[in-house]
Amino acid sequence: MKMNSAGIAGCPPNRSCEESAARNEQFVGECLKKIRKAPDAEEGLKRLLCFLGEQLECDRVYVFEEMDRQHIRNTYEWCRAGISSGIEELPYVAKKDLLPWYGQLTKGENIIEPDVELLREKDTLIYEFLQPQKIQSIILSPLLAQGKMYGFLGTDNPPPEKMEHISVVFDVLAYFVCSLVSQRELSRLRESYSHKKRPKTDALHTGKTVLLVDDSPQLLRLNERVLRPEGYSILSAGTLWEARTILHKTTPDAIVLDIDLPDGNGLDFCRELRARNEIPVVFLTAHSDAQTVQEGAKAGGCALLTKPYQMEELQNAVADALSGVNIKKSEGIVGKSQY
Give span(s): CATH 3.30.450.40, the chain: 5-190
Contact between residue 33 and residue 12 where contact means Cβ atoms under 8 Å apart: no
Q: CA 275, CA 256: separation in Å to the nearest integer?
A: 18
DSSP annotation of 57 reads T
DSSP annotation of 334 reads B
Query: With 0-12 CB in 10 A as exposed, 13-18 as middle and 19+ as buried, what is 12?
Result: exposed
Give span(s): CATH 3.40.50.2300, the chain: 198-323
pLDDT at position 193 is 58
Write down the CATH number for the domain with range 198-323. Answer: 3.40.50.2300
Dihedral Cα 187, 191, 197, 200, nearest 10 deg? -150
Q: CA 92, CA 110: separation in Å to the nearest integer?
A: 20
HEC string of 164-197?
HHHHHHHHHHHHHHHHHHHHHHHHHHHHHHHHHC
pLDDT at position 288 is 62
Name the pairing type of β-strands 92-94 and 148-156: unpaired
Per-residue confidence in pLDDT tens, the chain, 339 aa: 434 333 433 344 556 778 888 889 999 999 999 999 999 988 999 999 999 999 999 999 999 998 777 889 899 999 999 998 888 777 778 888 898 999 999 999 999 999 999 999 999 989 998 988 899 999 999 999 888 899 999 999 999 999 999 999 999 999 999 989 888 877 766 665 555 555 544 456 788 999 999 988 878 888 998 898 888 999 999 999 999 999 999 999 999 999 989 999 999 999 999 888 889 999 998 776 677 778 888 888 888 888 767 778 898 999 999 887 544 333 333 433 332
CATH architecture of 5-190: 2-Layer Sandwich (3.30)
The number of angstroms, rounded, from the C-alpha of 95 to the middle of its chain's C-alpha atoms is 12
pLDDT at position 101 is 95
Q: What is the pLDDT of residues 11-68, one digit of tens each?
A: 445 567 788 888 899 999 999 999 999 999 889 999 999 999 999 999 999 999 987 7
pLDDT at position 277 is 82
Contact between residue 304 and residue 292 where contact means Cβ atoms under 8 Å apart: yes
Give the residue among 60, 59, 97 at the shortest CA–CA distance from 76: 60
In 30-132, where do the E strands start and end?
Answer: 60-66, 71-79, 92-94, 111-113
Q: CA 19, CA 77: separation in Å to the nearest integer?
A: 30
Query: What angle do the packed helices 217-227 and 311-323 form, to 10 degrees?
Result: 70
Q: What is the pLDDT of residues 85-97, one digit of tens each?
A: 888 777 778 888 8
